[in-house]
Structure 1
Amino acid sequence: MTELILHHYPMSPFAEKIRLALGFKRLAWRSVTIPAVMPKPDLVAMTGGYRRTPVLQVGADIYCDTALICDVLEHVQPEPMLYPPALRGVARVFAQWADSTLFWASMAYSLQPRGAAHLFAKAPPEVAKAFGEDRKAMSSNMVRLRPGDATSAYRSYLRRIAHMVEEHEFLFGAQPCVADFAAYHPLWFTRTQVSPLADILNATPAVAEWMDRLEGMAIGPGALDSLEAADAVRVAADAQPMPPGSNLLVDSAFQDDHGIPLGTQVTVTAESFGAEATQGLLMAATRTHYSLRREDPRAGTVHVHFPRIGYVLRKAEGA
């Protein structure tokens, strides 16, 4: 089964990264719109706790974090490539920087009071309050930039990106790679979701031109249809997860860096933002990812997959 189900919501920047990558790959997908804030009972029924956006579902296999989702998309549709062989290392390193340092500078700039007021201008006051409280809880163990510091950093990062795309059509050459999609989505949020603050992009017109080129390269079939979240849970319940080594993550060799054997009850938790733990039976621990087998009354038996980088593996209490 390779039907792709994306759990997302429209204004999520990381979801936009994957929506654009799906378009670039010319992949069709089904859309499940999830809440922007907790509770997310249908999503958590499958992930076991992980609540960040987006999540990619393929039957009873649940893929968390956009870094891992991009690996899945590359396996499902190898061409055009997100990871060209000559750029595989540098593209991943740049994407990791963009998904973290660049992203948080963009968010701290974009969600300063004027940006937040625009984002929630048409929503009831309680919606904005709930969003703020939810994101505060998700980032309780993080140091967040103040708007002034974020503005300075964001301007510098935009200039650096401009220097790259003044030399090439895309960040590393004539074709886009995963680095482009990772750098694009925080800027997309500023440009499309908080337009009163988008004038920060005016000083680097080459960046806006690069964003337009990337959008033009990523016109695919889009979402085939919408699926209710409860129906996606039933899709998982009616399927069987793919065995480790035969799923959509190509590496399968066990890499033991923790002294935790396969078959152990473990938890996997994000290092920082959104640190809700997922507990399950450790089915795979490869050089790139962890896979946990878990049982849920509604979703049945599922395998939940996480990248190694950015996540903490521990034995579950009592294991």
Structure 2
Amino acid sequence: MADLILHQYADSPFSEKIRALLGYKGLAYKSVEIPAIMPKPDLTTLTGGYRRTPVMQRGADIFCDTALIAQVIEAHKPEPSIFGGPRPAQAVAAARWADSEFFRSCVGLVFQPAAVAANPRFKDPSAVESFIRDRAAFTAGSPGLATPLPRAQAVFREHLSNLEKTLDHHAFLGGDSPDIVDFSNWHCCWFVYRQPVLRHYFDAYASVSAWLDRLQVFSVEPMATVISGADAIEIARNSQPEVIDKPQIDPLVELEAGATVQVLPTDYGFQAVIGTLLVVDDKHIIIARQDEQVGQLHVHFPRYGFEVALAGDPA
């Protein structure tokens, strides 16, 4: 099986989710450091326009969204499992809430004026302006990424209080060992905690702070070999996507295998990826793309949080 390649950047919270998960699994992987803002030419070559971070590559198969990436990692190395708890439905639902609503509250905290002023990334005013322009384009047509600060603080404190109650009785949110809920909450808390000016938000939560220390171990020494974007493209060029013997299409989407379709997120980042439809089932959307630099690629998305339609369909 081809090596796992993580396209990420150091400050990206969702990249941290996957870095920690790979560390927990003890998996060696390759890492490509991508720009935090557009343009991202090497990544765009592989994804066809999807620009959220991170993206995982395995040969000529490209996996988008950390919910799907976590499933790919689990299949690659099933033990220790992050989906093996006694209440999988609750775990997945809680992870989705953390990755969306709790994350937006954390963004609201991280981008409050005091935190921006203390962030080394934004010491240069031009860097601030470039980042703001990039994220404005990224979130165009959506409510945006950040919860307003007063509500963000309230949501954050309430959730940490609930985490504290859980962690008073267990080492991890998943019980005696971490599961997907731990990693989805970890990257959100990491995003806030890593900035000294914001660390006071955790002062009243001793069990949460101890839990952060336990999870930090998994990402302190990532088992990554750094490669370039050009290297990743060369690996894709010399690979073939995994064979899909029989296209599976949910009849409710009223599309046929082989149709030219577009795939977009349903919340923000409405940059369409266009390709030939291969699979739409309860868990996955898979399309084939032909790239002039690479050849054939399969781009994979989770079904939850993404929509597929005929290319050019304004709906």
Range class of TM-score, shorter chain: over 0.9
Q: Per-residue displacement from partner, 1:28-71 (whole Å, max 9, x unpaired)?
A: 00110000001111101110010010000000000000000000
Matched with 1:130 is: 130
Q: Which residue of 1 aligns with 2:310?
A: 315
Of 280, 286, 300, the residue aligned with 1:305 is 300
The answer to whether the 8 A contact 2:241-2:298 is kept is yes
Q: Greater CA deviation, 116-125 or 308-317?
A: 116-125
Does the alignment pair 1:89 with 2:84? no
Q: Which residue of 1 aligns with 2:193?
A: 191
Q: What TM-score do the two structures reach when normalised by structure 2?
A: 0.94
**Structure 1 segments unaligned to the other structure (5+ residues):** 247-251
CA shift digits 1:169-224 (9 cap, x unpaired): 111311110110000101101111x220121111112111111112335667610x
Q: 3-state SS of the aligned residue for 2:158? A: helix
SS of corresponding position for 2:232: helix
SS at match of 1:129: helix
Per the normalisation by structure 1, the TM-score is: 0.93
In structure 2, the partner of 1:266 is 261
CA contact (8 A) 2:56 2:69 kept: yes
CA distance in 2, matches of 1:164, 1:120: 34
Q: 1:232 to 1:217 in 2, by over 3 A?
A: closer
- How far apart are residue 127 of structure 1 and its match? 1.4
AA aligned opposite 2:95? A
For the aligned residue pairs, the C-alpha RMSD in angstroms reads 1.8
Q: Confirm whether residue 162 of structure 1 aligns to residue 164 of structure 2.
A: yes
Supply the AA of the counterpart residue of 2:237: A
Q: Please list, as runs of the form range in 1=range in 2, the aligned pairs for 1:103-182 lying within 5 A after superposition.
A: 103-120=103-120, 123-140=123-140, 141-143=142-144, 144-182=146-184
> What are the superposed Cα offsets for residues 273-308 of structure 1, whole Å, 9 maximum, x if unpaired?
211100000111121010010011112110000001
Which consecutive unaligned segments of at least 5 residues does structure 2 have?
none
1:283 match: 278
Instruction: Tell me by how many angstroms 1:312 deviates.
Output: 1.1
Alignment partners' CA distance in 2, 1:125 and 1:237: 39
1:124-171 per-residue CA deviation (whole Å, 9 max, x = no partner) reads 221121112211222231154211221111111111111111121111
Once residues 216 and 16 of structure 1 are traced to their aligned partners in structure 2, the CA distance between those partners, rounded to angstroms, is 12
Q: Residue in 2 aligned with 1:55?
A: 55
**Distance of 2:103 and 2:70 partners within structure 1:** 17
Give 1:274's aligned amino acid: G
Aligned length: 311
Q: Structure 1 residues 132, 266: closer, same or farther in 2, change over 3 A? A: same
Quick check: 98-107 or 85-94, which moved more?
A: 85-94
The amino acid that maps onto 2:176 is A
Aligned 8 A contact 1:254 1:287 in 2: no
**Match of 2:158, as an amino acid?**
S
Structure 1 residues 24 and 123: CA distance shift in structure 2, 3 A: same
2:289 match: 294
Comparing 208-217 with 95-104, which one deviates more in the overlay? 208-217
Letter aligned with residue 182 of structure 2: D
- 2:23 aligns to what? 23
Residue 239, structure 1, aligned to residue 239, structure 2: yes
Deviations 1:74-133 (A, max 9, x none): 000000001015232111111000000110001111111111222235642211211122
Match of 2:42 in 1: 42
Percent identity for Structure 1 against Structure 2: 37
